[in-house]
A and B are shown apart, each in its own frame.
Chain A
């Protein structure tokens, strides 16, 4: 939230948004989600990110993708034309109970994050034998 140059107090939205301590733009990466026989595969476009800057967290049922991006600058050259801006990435998804929490795989390649989510093995219904007395 940019509050410079304004002498009035800024009203909060309800519920209060969580803000970041660093004043940097945040982008929502575009994703593809594919349902497979074994679970789900998620692809997210995060150009500029690599395995060191990407963070995938799962808290309760919320899966969050985050990545910090350092804007590029070239010594001795100045930007003369800008069509896209560089900022961090952040996006969250709620995942169902069917997802196996301990088996989430994440791979980053060429600025694309691939998440593989497996389904929990089906709980086999326990059959209770009924006998006559």
Chain B
């Protein structure tokens, strides 16, 4: 699955970061998500290492999923200094459109090994219906 635009988007993100002035923050496209779709539900996963699960907000409206939260930088004590700081920190927010409407009150989210996984069952009203053809 190679996306030719991915590299361009990455460069754009990099430029935005350079020109966004002092203080870094995760870009608008963070976190990156993967989605699996099945007959009855959709699973969305995002890599969010080192995030406090209590500080992750997930909201579902109709067929729109929003993941947002904050990732704190490691707090320095007196006399400590950074040699390298590559990990991103700051606020992140991501909204994606799901392939169908989901049951908002049956959404389950788990956080394990730095990976957030959200399972959303398909709304009953949105499920494909089999229409019997009657013969006249």
Using a Cβ–Cβ cut-off of 8 Å, how many residues does chain A contribute to the interface with B? 33
Are A112 and B84 also in contact (CB < 8 A) when A74-B38, A83-B34, A84-B34 are?
no
The interface-forming segment of B15-23, B72-80, B124-132 is: B72-80
Using a Cβ–Cβ cut-off of 8 Å, how many residues does chain B contribute to the interface with A? 38
Contact indicator B82/A45 (Cβ below 8 Å): no
Asked if A34 lies at the interface with its beta carbon under 8 angstroms from chain B, I say yes
Asked if B133 lies at the interface with its beta carbon under 8 angstroms from chain A, I say no
Contact indicator B47/A31 (Cβ below 8 Å): no
Q: How far is the CB of A32 from chain B (nearest CB, A)?
A: 5
Closest residue of chain A to B78 (Cβ to Cβ) is A37
Contact indicator B50/A81 (Cβ below 8 Å): no
Contact indicator A32/B82 (Cβ below 8 Å): yes
Task: List the B side residues contacting A36 at CB < 8 Å.
Answer: 77, 79-80
Contact indicator A83/B33 (Cβ below 8 Å): yes
Contact indicator B39/A112 (Cβ below 8 Å): no
Contact indicator A79/B114 (Cβ below 8 Å): no
Are A47 and B114 also in contact (CB < 8 A) when A77-B36, A84-B47, A111-B47 are?
yes
Contact indicator A34/B47 (Cβ below 8 Å): no
Give the complex CA separation of A65 and B28 in angstroms.
30
Contact indicator B49/A112 (Cβ below 8 Å): yes
Are A74 and B114 also in contact (CB < 8 A) when A79-B36, A81-B33, A110-B50 are?
no
Contact indicator A84/B32 (Cβ below 8 Å): yes
Asked if B48 lies at the interface with its beta carbon under 8 angstroms from chain A, I say yes
Q: Which of B58-91 contact A (CB under 8 A)?
A: 73-74, 76-77, 79-88
Task: List the A side residues contacting B92 at CB < 8 Å.
Answer: none
User: Which residues of B approach A to under 8 Å, CB–CB?
Assistant: 1, 32-39, 41-43, 45, 47-51, 73-74, 76-77, 79-88, 96, 99, 111, 113-115
14 pairs, CB–CB < 8 Å, chain A vs chain B:
A37-B79, A37-B80, A40-B83, A43-B50, A43-B87, A46-B114, A48-B113, A72-B115, A74-B36, A74-B38, A78-B37, A79-B36, A111-B48, A111-B113
Q: A33-B82, A78-B38 are in contact. List 5 more A-B contacts (CB 8 A).
A: A34-B82, A47-B113, A47-B115, A77-B36, A78-B36
8 closest cross-chain pairs (CB), A and B: A111-B114, A111-B49, A77-B38, A47-B114, A47-B47, A83-B32, A112-B50, A84-B32
